[in-house]
Amino acid sequence: MLELLKSNNSDGVCILSIVGMEGMGKTTLAQLVYNDTSIKESFDHKALGVFSDDFDAVNITKTILKSIDAGSHDDNDLKLLQVKLKEKLSGKRFLLVLDDIWNESYTDWTILRAPFGAGTKIIVTTRLEQMPSGFDQLIKLQTLSDFVIGKGGGHLTKELKNLSNLRGNFRLSGLENVNSQDAREAKLNEKLGIDVFELRWGTYLENNTRKKEVEERVLKFLCPQKKLKQLIIANYGGAKFSTWIGNLSFKNLSSSKLRNCKNYKSLPSVGRLPLLKNL
């Protein structure tokens, strides 16, 4: 994390999230990073605040301004506050730590980040366990290592359809919360830059409560792009695998891993894939 924060290769705002259950040390980790000597030397300005009860752009902006300039006026006009903040941060490297954030509103976050530009790094600690709504508006997003779907959040899978620039490693977690229609609309076969693709169901599911046919239909519609290099399927509860697994069109697939998939009756036919080395 320290190296990511100190790097100077971002044209815009860089946001790092620390996510976990209560009591796991998220705040402690964020504070250790914030107070690290090398971090102090790497940034012109820093600010840290706890806003779990009220995610209010005015209060957060005022807190940031006062951390930079103790003599800042106690104004309540957000536009004026953001103009002042933008002036203070112009050409500066700035680190902001927002501790214990619960807000999922894309609109609120868009408003808050308006004054920030290149050179700004933001650390967010949160107990949120699924992706926020409005994620589909990040159409230029390239790196998303884990898209987490919480209970009742299956519809958020559809927001993946607009993220056509995703590349590298991509994991889709919490698939027990997704139905076949949500999976179909994700259009994962259009994400041409993804090289390593992981599909993950929950490990806590009891076998007698699983909806095996639903899981089979979901897997069917989560077919990735054909140039995929590595496929991982974890905790899948279906009795059969989709026909796209082992399809000859996956000519670049070199590794296919099935982890803790206890209900399937036969392995997918992958023997004719020309580059497959690991199964």
User: Does 144 lie in the same domain as 60?
Assistant: no
Q: Are strands 193-200 and 230-234 parallel, antiparallel or unpaired?
A: parallel
DSSP 8-class letter at 131: P
Continuous segment of H or E residues that includes residue 85: helix 78-89
Task: Region of 168 please: left (phi>0), alpha (psi -120 to 50) or beta.
Answer: left
Count CB neighbours of 166 within 10 A.
19
> Residue ranges of the alpha helices (H) in 43-77?
57-68
Position 110: which residue type?
T
Position 169: which residue type?
N
User: Does 69 lie in the same domain as 141?
Assistant: no
Q: Which domain holds residue 9?
A: 2-126
User: Does 171 lie in the same domain as 87?
Assistant: no
Q: Please indicate, yes or no, whether the overall pTM of this predicted structure exceeds 0.75.
A: no
Whether 172 and 219 have beta carbons less than 8 Å apart is answered as no
Instruction: Examine residue 162 and state whether it is found in any structural domain, yes or no.
Output: yes
Q: pLDDT (tens digit, 0 to 9) for every residue of the chain, 279 residues total?
A: 888 788 876 667 888 888 766 667 888 898 999 999 998 899 989 988 877 666 788 888 888 888 888 776 677 889 999 999 999 888 889 899 988 877 767 788 888 888 888 888 888 888 766 666 677 777 888 888 888 888 887 888 888 888 888 889 999 999 999 999 999 999 999 999 999 999 999 877 676 777 889 999 999 999 999 898 988 999 999 888 888 887 777 778 788 888 888 888 777 665 565 556 665
* Final residue of a structural domain among 99, 126, 153: 126
DSSP 8-class letter at 141: -
CATH, residue 37 = 3.40.50.300
The residues, ordered by sequence, that sit 6+ positions from 8 with a Cβ below 8 Å of its Cβ are 93, 119
Tokens representing 96?
């902001």
